[in-house]
Structure 1
Amino acid sequence: MDLKQRIKEFIDIQYQSPRGILGLFVGEKMVLQHRRETLWTINLLKLKKEERVLEIGCGAGYAMENILAQPNVQFVVGLDISKSILRSARIRNRRAIREGTAKLLLGSVSDIPLDNELFTRVFSIHSIYFWDITPETISEIYRVLKPNGTVTITLCNGKNGETWTGIQNMLEEKLIPLMLQMGFKDIKILKGPNSRKFHTVAVFGEK
């Protein structure tokens, strides 16, 4: 393996699970890169009274910070597989954590360390690329949602007018069929804003 390939693999690992000082930098870089689709996703949640929200792959906690600023939110949990990135999220949301309206957890979407039917909203932004999309993973999301709760999964499916067939096939042939199998209803793909020439979409479903 040449140096260029090793560097690329190292950077890819940092985006999947940021580590150390460089991981903190990557986390803040992702906040800047993904701000537009993050705010779009929060708007899609249509937050009402006493919402309890779970973010899967919370990163540096920017989305959590914005959600916690809204009056209809009761409690927000951020879940991530990276200890380094959770440090950034903890700093960004330290007041809410101290007041008991926010919590951060180290863990994976395939084994969410939380009780059944806790959340009215579950969402994720740019983390599905790193999931094992299996019945167990989708059932975990379904399990932690309250009846009539919703899931919103935001990702990119193309760039510069070109659709990435691999991502699109994953949505249409794997993710959505598994969501239907688990019992989600009103499933749809919503088109979002272009961000840095990437095409943003969100997969929405209701329990």
Structure 2
Amino acid sequence: MNVKAKLQNLMDTQYSRPAGVLGWFIGEKMIRQHKPETLWTIENLQLQKNERILEIGCGAGFAMKLIASSNGSYSVTGLDVSETLLQSAALRNKKAIRQKQMSLVHGRVEEMPFPDEEFTAVFSIHSVYFWEDLSKSLKEIERVLSPGGTALITLCDGKDGEDWTTIKKMIQGELLPIMEQLKFTDLRVLEGPVSRGYHTVAVCGVKSSSQ
């Protein structure tokens, strides 16, 4: 493997599981890069007071900080595979953690360490690309979501006007059908902002109350 390939492999690994000083830097970089779609995602959650919210792939904790600092009396939990980013999130959210408004958990979306129906809203921003088993991950999201709760998965499906066919096929051929099988209702693909040329969308659904 040449030097360029080694560097590319390192960066790919860091974006999926950031670690060390480079991982910390990438976490802060992602906050700056993803701010438009982060704000848009939170807005589309349409949170009500006293909701219990889970972010999958919480990274350095910027979205959770925005939610916790609003006036909704929310309980916020962040899940991430990167211990480095969880440390960054803990520093960024010291007050909310100290006040027991927020908790951070090291773990994988495929096997989440939470009770059934623990959360009223579950969301993720740019983490679905790294889920190892999409079907298992969505089943876990359905399991930890309370009836009537919202799941919202934000991702990019193109750049500079060019569609990413693989991502679009994943949305239409996997994400939406699996969520339909899990009896999510009001399934939609929301059109989001263009950020740095990247086109943002979100797959949104509500867990059925009749299960």
Q: TM-score scaled to structure 1, two decimals?
A: 0.98
Deviation at 1:14, TM superposition (A): 0.5
Shift of the alpha carbon at 1:2? 1.4
Separation in structure 2 between the aligned mates of residue 133 and residue 195 of structure 1, nearest angstrom:
27
1:68-104 Cα shifts (integer Å, max 9, x gaps): 0121142000000000010000000111111100000
| 1:3 and 2:3 matched | yes
How many aligned positions are there? 207
The answer to whether structure 1 residue 138 and structure 2 residue 131 are counterparts is no
1:183 shift after superposition: 1.4
2:31 aligned with 1:31, yes or no? yes
Instruction: Name the residue aligned to 1:64.
Output: 64
Instruction: Kindly report the root-mean-square deviation, in angstroms, between the aligned alpha carbons of the 2 structures.
Output: 0.8
Read off the aligned partner of 2:148 and give its amino acid letter: N
SS of equivalent residue, structure 1 residue 111: coil
2:71 aligns to what SS in structure 1? coil
What is residue 93 of structure 2 aligned with on the other side? 93
CA drift of 1:53 comes to 0.3
Q: CA deviation at 1:177?
A: 0.7
Runs of 4+ with deviation above 3 angstroms = none
1:16 & 1:132 partners in 2: Cα distance? 11
Q: Distance in 2 between matches of 1:105 and 1:131?
A: 17
Which structure 2 residue ranges, 5 or more long, are not aligned? none
Q: Is the 8 A contact 2:67 2:74 kept in 1?
A: no
Q: Tell whether the 8 Å contact from 1:159 to 1:198 is kept in structure 2 after alignment.
A: yes
Maintained 8 Å contact 1:77/1:102? yes
| C-alpha separation in 1, matches of 2:84 and 2:29 | 14
Q: Residue 188 of structure 2 aligns with which residue?
A: 188
Cα deviation per residue 1:34-72 (whole Å; 9 max; x = unaligned)?
Answer: 001000000001111211100000000000000001211
Normalised to the residue count of structure 2, the TM-score between the two structures is 0.96
Cα distance in 2, alignment partners of residues 2 and 187 from structure 1: 45
CA distance in 2, matches of 1:90, 1:49: 23
Partner of 1:77: 77
Distance 2:63 2:174 in 1: 27
Q: Residue 104 of structure 1 aligns to which amino acid in structure 2? A: L
Shift of 1:21: 1.0
Match of 1:19 in 2: 19
Following superposition, the deviation at residue 7 of structure 1 comes to 0.4
Which string of whole-angstrom CA distances, capped at 9 and with x for unpartnered residues, describes residues 160-188 of structure 1?
A: 10110000001100111111111111111
Write the distance in 1 (CA, Å) between the matches of 2:116 and 2:4.
45
Q: Deviations over 1:132-160 (max 9, x none)?
A: 24332111000111110000000000001
Question: Matched residue of 1:72: which SS?
Answer: coil
> Are the equivalent residues in 2 in contact too, given 1:47–1:73 (CA < 8 A)?
no
Q: Is there any run of 5+ residues in structure 1 with no aligned partner, and where? A: none
